[in-house]
Amino acid sequence: MDWFHGAVLGLIQGLTEFLPVSSSAHLRVFSALLGWDDPGAAFTAVTQLGTESAVLIYFRRDIASIVKTWTLSLFRPALRSHQDARMGWFVIIGTLPIGILGATFQHTIENSLRDLRVIGTTLIVFGVVLAVADRTRAVRHARPISDLTLPHAIGYGFAQALALIPGVSRSGGTISAGLLLGYSREAAARYSFLLAIPAVLASGLLEVFKIGEGPAPAWGPTVLATLIAFAVGYAAVAWFLKYISSHSFTPFVVYRILLGILIIGLVTFGVLEPDAGVVVAK
């Protein structure tokens, strides 16, 4: 990977991380379409540190309040019923599924699940799930994030774990779960972003040691991609939260399905190699 590749992939990461379209799928697919090697799971995880830093800054007041109240509640029983203290526990418990499953199936996630046929299929299937979830929410009284319960937090956690499969989308999976549970679009997205923080930071810090070794890209392009992902990601999360306050997820659903069909079609007709990430010379 050279500097230009790193810049392009950082832009893609920043644009797609918070949208329900799967950033890991886009990094994999666009690399294949442009004839570049698959950047790999390590590169994806490290560049997500950039976008997650954007979340930390954007939600800094919420995060500071949650961390402070949760910590104090460990010593002050009266605070344990406070919404921020409960949210701290919900984020911790909701992170367990992706941590356990990610460690258990790490090899499969980093290899066979990056097959373009898998990505195309998951883009379509979970696009339909998002459409159904959004339609279901539209006929219910939407719950605010303050109504979050422990069983729902665990449900969110398993939905987030599905995002270990490229093409599912971390935000798409968790937002779909929230909508199906009756939460508003804004509430589902806000908790989705908060829930992702521990998992993304842990994954990125673990994978950072692989950068520059073996098939992983070099440090220079990876750092550039991470910085670009941070800047673009901050703008993307602000836009997305404003957008969904008055719009449905239909455009994202249509985009996912069309992209999934395109990927499967290109693989079927031999334009793309499903597991090599390169364009076949014709």
pLDDT truncated to tens, each residue of the chain (282 aa)?
789 999 999 999 999 999 999 998 898 888 888 888 888 778 888 899 999 999 999 999 999 999 999 999 999 999 999 999 999 999 999 999 998 998 888 777 777 788 899 999 999 999 999 999 998 875 566 788 889 999 999 999 999 999 889 899 999 999 999 999 999 889 999 999 999 999 899 888 888 888 877 666 788 889 999 999 999 999 999 999 999 988 999 999 999 999 999 999 999 998 888 875 443 433
pTM for this prediction: 0.87
Is 150 within 8 Å of 106 (Cβ atoms)? no
- CA 97, CA 149: separation in Å to the nearest integer? 17
Q: What are phi and psi of 279, to 5 degrees?
A: -80, 135
Torsion of CA 198, 165, 237, 140, to 10 degrees: -100
- CA 194, CA 203: separation in Å to the nearest integer? 15
- CA 88, CA 67: separation in Å to the nearest integer? 7
Beta bridge partner(s), residue 272: 279
Three-state DSSP class for residue 17: coil
- CA 87, CA 9: separation in Å to the nearest integer? 33
